[in-house]
Amino acid sequence: MERWQNKVAVVTGASSGIGEAIVKDLVRNGLQVIGLARRLDRMENIKKQLPAQQQRYLTPMKCDISDSEAVNQVFDKIIAQFGGIDIMVNNAGCMKLGQLTTMDAGVIQQVLQTNVMGVIYCTQRAFQSMKERNVAGHVIIINSIAGHGIVSMGNMLPETNIYSPTKFALRAATEIYRQEFKGFGTKVKVTSISPGAVETEIIPDSFRSMIGENILRCEDISSAALYAISTPPNVQIHEMIIKPVGEMF
Cα distance from N-terminal residue to C-terminal residue, the chain: 33
Query: Annotated catalytic residue: which of 57, 163, 177, 227?
Result: 163
Strand pairing class (87-90; 8-12): parallel
| Region for residue 188 given its phi and psi (left: phi exceeds 0; alpha: psi -120 to 50; beta: otherwise) | beta
Q: Give CA–CA dist 97/186, Å, rounded.
A: 40
Q: Cβ distance 187 to 138 under 8 Å?
A: no
Q: Cβ distance 121 to 65 under 8 Å?
A: yes
Q: Give CA–CA dist 104/93, Å, rounded.
A: 19
163 is catalytic: yes
Give the catalytic positions in this structure: 163
